Chain A
Amino acid sequence: MTTLLEVSGVSVTFDGFRAINNLSIAIGEPELRAVIGPNGAGKTTFMDIVTGKTRPDEGRVIWGAQSVDLLKLSESDIAKIGIGRKFQKPTVFEEQSVRDNLAMALKNRRGPLSVLMWHATERDTARILELATEIGLSDRLTHRAGDLSHGQKQWLEIGMLLAQDPRLLLVDEPAAGMTPSEREHTTDLLKRAARTRAVMVIEHDMEFIRRLDCRVTVLHEGSVLAEGSLDHVTKNQQVIDVYLGR
């Protein structure tokens, strides 16, 4: 396992509020990692920084063996380099069909002219069908994404994430609004993805994290409070005080 993403000494302040405070965190490839922490711990801001949405005031974000400085790249370049993101609130393109949503995410050339000339090859079509089967939407390909249930939208977004074929998946609360059996399916999906990639999951649900069975990072007030196995961190007195004890 080699280090894929290394965030070191990152701080960001919003209107005087220090959302991220000298945060250092690293993830390898392949690896499955869960990130937990109370509200306002900086979990989502951390993802915003890695994906280029928010620029930190200080610190470094380094990617891959070539040590690419992610802070110099635009959001779309970061996505192209191999970082995919699933948002907390499912954000799919509701006016468009499930197929079009997946086709847009499919790993292909992204320039306007290539996209203008694009037509689905047999491989693309097969891949879309394969993904749709994996996320349980193979009979919904022609449906409007907006007509899907909340859980199905979550899955469609996970499917879009997989379609991008990223090296690092940042997944924000994937199980929110899902039934227990849907959650189980989601856990399987993430664990399978983590066999070949780096997967970072933000989640509140302890049961869900226990099923992921992976290394856990606890964030608090914008920096890492504890890191290790779930049993290890849940025994940590500080963690109990700020998070679990409530």
Chain B
Amino acid sequence: MEMSRTTAAPVKRRRLLQDNPSVLWFMGLLGLFTLGITVLSEGFGIGVISTNLVKILGMTLCLCLIAIAMDVVWGYCGILSLGHFAFFGLGGYAIGMWLMYARTEIVIRDSLAGGTIPPTEREVSEAVASQIFSVVGSNELPLIWTFAGSLPLQLAMVVLVPGLLALIFGWLAFRSRVTGVYLSILTQAMTLALSLYLFQNDTGLRGNNGLSGLQNIPGFLHVPQSVISVWFFWASAFALGAGYLLFAWVVSGKFGSVIRAIRDNEARVRFLGYNVEGYKLFVFTLTAVVSAIAGALYYPQAGIINPAEIAPIASIYLAVWVAIGGRGRLYGAVIGAALVSLLSSWLTGGGAPNIDLGFYRIVWTDWWLVMLGLGFVLVTLFFPKGIGGLFDYLVRKQ
């Protein structure tokens, strides 16, 4: 792509699409895929694929979105964060609070509407609280649910809460120049601590029960899931496309040059006058916010979120997806996330037939993790550039 620039001609503007043909390819394929799924769906098309599959595919797009965020922070900037699923989960919780509150409120108002005196706001709020929190033995609305009745405020929380956590955590870690494996361990500790905290019943997010019924969208309770699933699929595809464009722009210009330089030799970048810690904090926080948006789109499709979702292992899987797909290239992260997560749900969801060898029966739910681990080791040893590296090979062959 650099070759197309002639030495003498001044480069007036950054030409994102011309310089990065892969972005155009990706957008085209994503558009075609979205159109294809829409046509085949039950809600809008001929009904060849089930609503459940549409949801799985929509969720996969969200996982692809967090994977490209992971690729930017790890593959481009060299920060092996093993905690980005914490931000994903927080985004899910933030939107989940509104979904659960607003839906419960509608149900409560309907049931109280029959009475002679219209219920006061306080009565409604108390009824909602006891409905939501009776499962953890409480009937009071915790402080953090203050804004749960407002969609705009709760949407702001999707961005602000994980963004602020990333900002504070990153500031503390990068300022002390924690790098490499030590930083990875710190991020693991962060997501583990958050997960353990949320498992407690008195944290205001229903402990291990988590938030549920998130697939029912307040205001659209009469709309069948077959239609809502396609709406969310569209939203996820749009978010992935927008995120891809954003990150492609971020990593293409001089900013991308600086963060790759930080990845390769951060001390040298300091002597060029760049504030390395500031750049790391910027990238860490930006990718955390995108991860949170991915989570906010994922959990309404999953229907439920609980603290197990942000267990340390989730963030490690994320790193595995990106490594298998190929670090340092956005489409690699998409390929890795889509391939591994779809294979995983096919093999562990009972979709794949078990194989009877006579002397031994291969049960995929048992063997999937072994295969994933083996695949990870093989890719790391023999294809350090991941599946995405194959494209280099093909392009060079032409």
Binding site for B on A (CB under 8 A): 51, 53, 74-77, 79-80, 84-85, 87, 91, 93-97, 99-100, 103-105, 110-112, 115-116, 118-122, 125-126, 129, 138-139, 141-142, 160, 164
Contacts and interface: CB of A to CB of B under 8 A. Distances in A.
A104 B278 contact: no
B175 to A, nearest CB: 11
Contacts of B44: none
B273 interface: yes
Contact of A95 (B13, B264, B271, B272): B264
Given A79-B271, A80-B273, A115-B255, A93 B261 contact: yes
Interface in B1-37: 2-3, 5, 7-8, 10-14
A94 B264 contact: yes
Contact of B275 (A74, A91, A94, A129): A74
B274 interface: yes
Contacts of B261: 93, 96, 104
A203 B253 CA distance: 37
Contact of A99 (B2, B12, B265, B272): B2
A142 B271 contact: no
A139 B8 CA distance: 11
Given A51-B271, A104-B272, A125-B10, A142 B257 contact: no
B385 interface: no
B381 to A, nearest CB: 21
A112 to B, nearest CB: 4
A76 to B, nearest CB: 5
Contacts of A93: 257, 260-261, 264-265, 268
Given A119-B13, A125-B10, A164-B273, A96 B257 contact: yes
Contacts of A94: 264
Most buried by A among B11, B13, B258, B272: B272
Q: Is the interface of B mostly helix, strand, loop or mixed?
A: helix
A104 B253 contact: no
Given A91-B268, A96-B257, A112-B282, A142 B2 contact: yes
A112 B270 contact: no
Listed from nearest, the 4 A-B pairs whose CB atoms lie closest are A79-B273, A75-B270, A80-B273, A122-B10
Contacts of A122: 10
Given A118-B253, A119-B13, 13 more contacts: A51-B271, A76-B272, A79-B271, A84-B271, A91-B265, A104-B258, A104-B261, A112-B255, A115-B258, A118-B255, A120-B10, A138-B7, A160-B272
B267 interface: yes
B250 A141 contact: no
B260 A97 contact: no
Nearest to B281: A112
Nearest to A52: B270
Contacts of A85: 271
Given A116-B250, A119-B11, A76 B276 contact: yes
B317 interface: no
A139 B270 CA distance: 28
Interface in B232-277: 250, 253-255, 257-258, 260-261, 264-265, 267-268, 270-276
A126 B7 CA distance: 10
Contact of A110 (B10, B265, B275): B275
Contacts of A79: 270-273
A37 B265 CA distance: 28
25 contacts: A74-B275, A75-B267, A91-B268, A93-B257, A93-B260, A93-B265, A95-B264, A96-B257, A96-B260, A97-B2, A104-B258, A104-B261, A111-B278, A112-B255, A112-B282, A115-B254, A115-B255, A116-B250, A118-B255, A119-B12, A119-B253, A120-B11, A142-B7, A164-B272, A164-B273
Nearest to B265: A91
A122 B7 CA distance: 12
A110 B264 contact: no
B279 interface: yes
Contacts of A105: 272
Contacts of B7: 129, 138-139, 141-142
A240 to B, nearest CB: 35
B5 A142 contact: yes
